[in-house]
Amino acid sequence: MREQFGLPIPEPENSSSRSQLGTSNRRRFGNYELVRRIDVGGMGEVYLARQHTAFGREVAIKIMRSDLVHDPVARQRFLREAEVNAHLKHEHILPLIEFGEEQGRLFFVTPYIEGGTLAQRLQRGPLPLAEVYTLFTALVQAVAYIHRRGVIHRDLKPSNVLLDRNTDGKVYVRLIDFGIATIQGQHADAPLTLPGKEVGTLAYMAPERLQGVASVSNDIYSLGVILYQMLTGQLPSQGQADNRLPEPLAYVVRRATAERPEERFHSAEELLAAFEQAYQATRANERESELAQAAQQAMNQPVSGSSLRQQAGAAQRAAFQPPASPGHTPSEVMTLQRSEDASDQSPSTPPVRPSFRSAARPSFSLSGQGSFAREDYEAPTMELGRDLSGPGGPGDPGGAGGYGGRPSRRRKNPLLALIFVTIALVLLLIGGLLFIEAPGLSSAAINITPRTAALSQVFTITASLKAKQVDATNKIIPARVLSESKTLSQQGATTGRKCTLLILDCKQSVDIVDQIRLANQAKQILVNQITQDLQRQLHQQNAQQVGDIVFSDVDEKTDPPIGVESSTVTVTLTEQGSVEYFLLGDVRSLVLQMLGQQAQRQLGVHAQLKTTQIGKVSLQNVDNQGTATLKVPAAALAQYLFSQDELESMRSHIKGLKVGQARTYLQKLPGVDPASVAIHLTGGSSDVLPDDPQRIQIIPVNPTNLPNVQLPSASSSGSSPATATASASPTARASTTP
């Protein structure tokens, strides 16, 4: 392929040889010096080039393939790619520098990006979750931007995503290749992509693309496949698109790649919001797992060494430090330590055996800062739970706790209790985090179906010469008058005779019979011509005639005049024809307005017509003022359309409600099919909706069981059609088409 389509540009094996490539081996292409070819695609070749008029800066230039130069469809695609890209300005979309034609080949120029594509990055395996978040968020922001501009990319895939590494080390996304993009609402004489001949990459192509459907759902599907590939390093297989992912992320992929377009996210913004929520939930789950692992390691760690005792003591002091109340001075924290562990705390202090200064009263010291003196290391561990001056204390020689009485029993190691208390605190902390964050991590997906109604009626409307515009309130459309004038001359022999006193001396002359005969001949020809012209003009305007065409003689001349001696005579006649009519487009506009009003009365103010049928217009009668009464049978399928404000109001109202309460509220709303409300909760409580409206998604689903729409008969209105034979008024005949 490179040899077939490419320009004769040598391609060095590495950067060193590329830098040594002489300019004599490069090819000049207009204002650019082609350095090497980067890639060959379906429509063009991409080269690294240097722009002469920009001080030799490096750019990427895409040139139409030589075998497609004379292909009109390929040229139109290439032109559209440049046109679409020229009107896009976003930080994550590669901008267009120049577009033109050189050597008979179209081309356009963009900045050169050295970072490669996302496809090349995925060859090394899946991406870390943090990197997926950075790149995918930027990509979806770019897609959301083009959707707002009315553009559908239709070829989203990793090879069309450039990774631009900046000097700060950060990676930026640059979306490219709008070769098969479509512009919503743009008229085309011939489609560039026909059903059954879709252009794109099958692995990332939405199912409806194969039927030629171009919509926002195409790009949503492709984004879902790209997200799965970034997370797993593989393309999703049938029925196994999310079994390797955490549930929050699996939900996003599952929803974005749904088989039916109406079950996917309705916009890129909605997909982005769901992905960010799933990312936060996944990170929260990872943090909880890390805390649980830390607690398990603390439980399994052996009870020895001063480091563990320090951590345990710090945790205990932090957990059990009582809050200071007004008028209360908190007690100082005092710590006693066994002398045999002193070597762990102070290497300069030699280990000593426990000793007693007095058999009756052991000595110890406590400093305000919790530090120990030499005598503290030599003193035995004391129990501070009792009052030292009270009975049983060291000041009471006869008490049970004194050394003058019976010997005290050996106490258990307090570090064991301290460690168990620490573990319990960690477990309580984990449980508290789960309890606090669980409601915030829950999400709700609610499916609702809009109500539909079948409309069928025969409308009675009026076409009036006095009306200036369509009036839905009075059910009136304007009537108009179309006029046409033509002139024709007819010549013939004269039949009159003009004699002198001598009867034998008579000559031919113009008789009135000659004038009438020739005028009638001209009139018949002119009537046929004017009739054909008026009917052709009515057909071109998609208009319907009211009554007959009215003809009148505008001017008539006889040459020579009647009575003049002549063997021939010429009669010149100017004839005018006028006809009243109304536009069928006005009839359709009025009927649609009346159907829309009827739909809003039945379903609500946000009702819209989905399909309409308008029958043949029947002319009932025409009065002497040229006002026509018409009967028009019409039928339509109406459906309620939820606005964004309505959906926001629903989410705000049902947040924190129980499922049953939320369902009852939604079923009573105008425009909602009560039998269609389905609420699905993920995480958190199984019966309560999240308190955060952003975690509630209300998804309008198109109805499947649609009512039957049947066009009524015009005779069902009770009026029988009448033949339009009335003539237009004199005023109408004299007017012209507005």
Q: Is residue 536 over pLDDT 60?
A: yes
Q: Is residue 434 over pLDDT 70?
A: no
> Please, which pLDDT band fits residue 704 given cuts at 50, 70 and 90?
confident
Identify the top-confidence range among 148-157, 202-211, 328-337, 724-733.
148-157
- Six-digit token pair at 373? 């003196």
Question: What CA–CA distance (Å, rounded) separates 161 from 175?
Answer: 5
Q: Are 249 and 278 in contact (CB under 8 A)?
A: yes
Question: What CA–CA distance (Å, rounded) separates 698 from 605?
Answer: 20
For residues 503-521, average pLDDT: 86
Q: Are 226 and 175 in contact (CB under 8 A)?
A: no
719 compared with 614, residue with greater pLDDT: 614
Question: What are the Cα distances from residue 89, in Å, to 34, 85, 149, 221, 322?
Answer: 26, 8, 10, 24, 59
Note the pLDDT of residue 661.
93
395 compared with 541, residue with greater pLDDT: 541
Question: What CA–CA distance (Å, rounded) separates 511 from 538?
Answer: 41
Beta-carbon contacts of 710 under 8 Å, excluding residues fewer than 6 positions away, are 454, 456, 635
DSSP string, 274-323: HHHHHHHHHHHHHHHHHHHHHHHHHHHS-S-SHHHHHHHHHHHHHHH-PP
Question: 222-273, pLDDT tens digit by residue?
Answer: 999 999 999 999 988 765 545 678 999 999 999 999 999 999 999 999 999 9
Residue 482 pairs in a beta bridge with: 579
Of 380-394, 403-417, 550-564, the one with minimum mean pLDDT is 380-394
172 compared with 588, residue with greater pLDDT: 588
Of 306-315, 647-656, 705-714, 728-737, the one with minimum mean pLDDT is 728-737
To the nearest whole percent, how much of the chain has pLDDT over 70?
Answer: 71
Of 295-299, 421-425, 466-470, 644-648, the one with minimum mean pLDDT is 295-299
Note the pLDDT of residue 175.
92
> Please, which pLDDT band fits residue 435 given cuts at 50, 70 and 90?
low
Note the pLDDT of residue 614.
93
Mean pLDDT for the chain? 77
Q: Are strands 696-700 and 443-448 parallel, antiparallel or unpaired?
A: parallel
Question: What CA–CA distance (Å, rounded) separates 628 from 732?
Answer: 13
Q: Which amino acid is at 610?
A: K
Q: Is residue 512 over pLDDT 60?
A: yes
Note the pLDDT of residue 243.
65
List of domains in the chain: 16-111 (3.30.200.20), 118-260 (1.10.510.10), 443-450+626-717 (no CATH)
Question: What CA–CA distance (Å, rounded) separates 131 from 172?
Answer: 11
Of 31-45, 461-475, 536-550, the one with minimum mean pLDDT is 31-45
Note the pLDDT of residue 374.
42
Note the pLDDT of residue 380.
45
Angle at 615 between CA 611 and CA 616, to 5 degrees: 155
Q: Is residue 443 over pLDDT 90?
A: no
Question: 46-65, pLDDT tens digit by residue?
Answer: 999 999 988 889 999 999 99
Q: Is residue 688 over pLDDT 60?
A: yes
Q: Are strands 452-464 and 476-478 parallel, antiparallel or unpaired?
A: parallel
Note the pLDDT of residue 74.
86
For residues 389-413, average pLDDT: 45
Handedness of CA 289, 293, 299, 304 (dihedral sign): negative
Angle at 247 between CA 241 and CA 253, to 5 degrees: 40
Q: Is residue 293 over pLDDT 60?
A: yes
For residues 551-566, average pLDDT: 92
Cis peptide preceding 721, ω within 30 of 0: no
To the nearest whole percent, how much of the chain has pLDDT over 90?
Answer: 45
Q: Are 572 and 597 in contact (CB under 8 A)?
A: no
Residue 441: CB atoms within 10 A of its CB come to 20
Note the pLDDT of residue 11.
44
Q: Are 277 and 229 in contact (CB under 8 A)?
A: no
| Residue of 380, 343, 344 lying closest to 364 (CA atoms) | 380
For residues 301-322, average pLDDT: 43
Note the pLDDT of residue 172.
84
Q: Is residue 633 over pLDDT 90?
A: yes
Torsions phi, psi of 35, nearest 5? -90, -55
Question: 156-213, pLDDT tens digit by residue?
Answer: 999 999 998 777 767 789 998 887 777 654 433 333 343 333 445 788 988 888 777 7
Cis peptide preceding 560, ω within 30 of 0: yes
> Please, which pLDDT band fits residue 504 given cuts at 50, 70 and 90?
low
Note the pLDDT of residue 375.
46
For residues 286-290, average pLDDT: 83
Note the pLDDT of residue 424.
83
Beta-carbon contacts of 223 under 8 Å, excluding residues fewer than 6 positions away, are 136, 139, 140, 143, 156, 256, 268, 271
Helix (H) or strand (E) holding 569: strand 568-583
Q: Classify residue 503 by its DSSP letter.
A: T
Residue the block writes with tokens 């425009």: 671
Note the pLDDT of residue 433.
62
Note the pLDDT of residue 541.
93
Q: Is residue 694 over pLDDT 70?
A: yes
Of 99-113, 334-348, 492-506, 644-658, the one with minimum mean pLDDT is 334-348
